[in-house]
Amino acid sequence: MPDYKAPLRDIRFVRDELLGYEDHYANLPGAEDATPDMVKAILEEGAKFAEQVLAPLNLSGDQEGCTRTDDGEVRTPKGFKEAYQQYVEGGWPGLSQSPEHGGQGLPESLGLSIGEMIGQANWSWSMYQGLSQGAKRTINAHGTEVQQQVYLPKLVSGEWTGTMCLTEPHCGSDLGMLRTKAEPQADGSYRISGTKIFISSGEHDMAENIVHIVLARLPDAPAGTKGISLFIVPKFLPDANGEAGERNALVCGALEHKMGIHGNATCVMNFDSATGFLIGPPNKGLNCMFTFMNVARIGTAMQGLAHAERAFQGAMSYARERLQMRSLSGPKHPEKPADPIIVHPDVRRMLLTTKAFAEGGRALMYFCSKQSDIASRSNDEAQRQEAESLLALLTPIAKGFLTETGFEAAYLGMQVYGGHGYIAEWGMEQNLRDARISTLYEGTTGIQALDLIGRKVLGSQGETLKAFTRIVHRFCKANAENEAVADLVKQLATLNKEWGEVTMKLGMAGMQNPEEVGAAAVDYLMYAGYVTLAYFWADSARVAAEKLAAGTSEENFYRGKLHTAKFYFQRILPRTRSHLAAMEAGRGSLMDIEEGEFLAEG
């Protein structure tokens, strides 16, 4: 398996040169400690932890997997628990958490950079700590003061971890059908009974306690999604001193047998009159759970980026060393028996595609994270509202598009290796297997697409879309005469205008028949994703051209940015044409076929 190397140079490019994080932190309330020197030191230490501690456990964790004992306890792969203890001792769980609960108070965007490296090094391991972020955010936003005092310090320190318990065997993503019950008790607690499935990190041996955030129904709850409440259900009930005390009535009934992420325990969780505590108002649990789900969606978008980066690193290393055939234009290394495969056009196509998705995805993710900083910390109401609008639009795009392209990148990374890519020791087939779940959990691509076009764009009368297209328009106007990027800007401006036009057409068609919107939704999301990444690649090219014009000792790095931007616009961005044609085709070819006509029989 190729060694993982944290992409610190590109992280610095995106943060400091493209998105201006230094000025961002200087003007962000509560970010005074995030000085350039402090940020640099934290990123370098995070890279060491990812490279030296987590990456070596990635293959072994996949091969060993998790095991469940007869009494429902789960053992994680060798080394996982010890790595988690190092993570806790290093203070990483509290990096961007409130000092009020024991955190360090640094910006959330800095925590995202650490999370990127951790996820790339070992995605299965990263999930144990990653879900705790959503649990902390949910309790902080909706929990009572007592709940915050009891649970947040332990979650912030990493002594306890969190999960989200939504799905049940019969309902999947249709949470209005869930059956888990919550019976009120005289002491103000509730008895939670039901079965939840697909619970990542639902049971493990890495932390003292596991805090489950669970959706359930009260006895008098209305039907559907309007009758769902949210509860804290810990594995061990906190005692009078806030420590893990009596064992609660819940157990891991089984481990799911999965295609990938074998090092993470994906559990069937059985709640048998377990003690739970209501979070937020009764029957408003789904509203509260969106706090957790939005964190999880951004985290899953990061998974797409992680697998693209891992694919690029592995494929690039192999392509420079593997000797196969001669260049079509003549030998490039005549002293060797064959040329490295990096000389071949199709191998370069695959390498540049993975590079474009990894580095373009990083720019999108860090832009989103910057908006999250502003939305949570800015004192300017207008700034906060704009950031929230941008996040509303870009969250489903990031989750849906980056996971689809991350899986494509993982496929291409494996393809570069040829037959060796199918062999476990190289790590590319694991990367592909691990990547596959990202397009499924936290809402499939189809669900993200419906959220994007239905709720976020058409539901806001196009206002959330305009929040982003205005940024693109201003960029295009400012750089229309910039010779270094003029060709890219011209294409981007045309697509930005077209994005608004196709949205209006779909909105009008949807008023006649809502299935028109459903039929176009995934193509709309992918179209939006390609245009969004085009903006970040055009801006990256602008920065790179400026650096080269000014003179730099890193010419290869910046020329690589310009070439990748050109490749993206010439070889990837044209995919918008097929998505546009599919959207304009309408619902007919999808919905006119009768169910019986799907079958081969007469």
Q: How many degrees, rounded to 5, is the angle at CA 586 between CA 580 and CA 587?
A: 135
What residue type is assigned to position 471 of the chain?
I
Q: Give the separation between CA 496 and CA 491, rounded to whole angstroms.
A: 9
Q: Give the separation between CA 178 and CA 168, rounded to whole angstroms.
A: 6
Tell me, yes or no, if 442 is annotated catalytic. Answer: yes
> What is the DSSP pairing of strand 209-216 with strand 160-165?
parallel
User: One of 44, 442, 463, 498 is an active-site residue; which one?
Assistant: 442
Nearest Cα neighbor of 397 from 294, 287, 464, 301 is 301
Cα dihedral 206, 211, 213, 216, rounded to 10, equals 120
- Three-class DSSP category at 278: strand
Q: Give the separation between CA 427 and CA 429, rounded to whole angstroms.
A: 6
Which backbone phi and psi does 106 adopt, to 5 degrees? -75, 160
Which backbone phi and psi does 160 adopt, to 5 degrees? -115, 150
8 A C-beta contact, residue 62 and residue 262: yes
With residue 519 as reference, give the H or E element that holds it: helix 515-550
Q: Give the separation between CA 569 and CA 557, rounded to whole angstroms.
A: 19
Q: Give the separation between CA 567 and CA 564, rounded to whole angstroms.
A: 5
What residue type is assigned to position 374 of the chain?
I
Nearest Cα neighbor of 60 from 437, 312, 427 is 427
Tokens 């006119």: give the residue.
Answer: 592
What residue type is assigned to position 569 of the chain?
F
Cα dihedral 372, 375, 376, 378, rounded to 10, equals 120
| Complete DSSP assignment for 9-56 | HHHHIIIIIIS-HHHHHHTSTT-TT--HHHHHHHHHHHHHHIIIIIGG
Q: Give the separation between CA 121 and CA 254, rounded to whole angstroms.
A: 27
- Three-class DSSP category at 426: helix
Q: Over the range 240-274, which residues count as b (16 or more CB within 10 Å of their CB) and which as e? A: eeeebeeebbbbbbebeeeebbbbbbbbbbbbeeb
What residue type is assigned to position 309 of the chain?
E
Cα dihedral 541, 499, 357, 13, rounded to 10, equals 40
Nearest Cα neighbor of 369 from 116, 75, 82, 4 is 116
* Helix residue ranges per DSSP H, 342-485: 345-377, 381-416, 428-436, 445-450, 463-479
* Helix residue ranges per DSSP H, 209-344: 285-321
Q: Which residues are catalytic?
A: 442
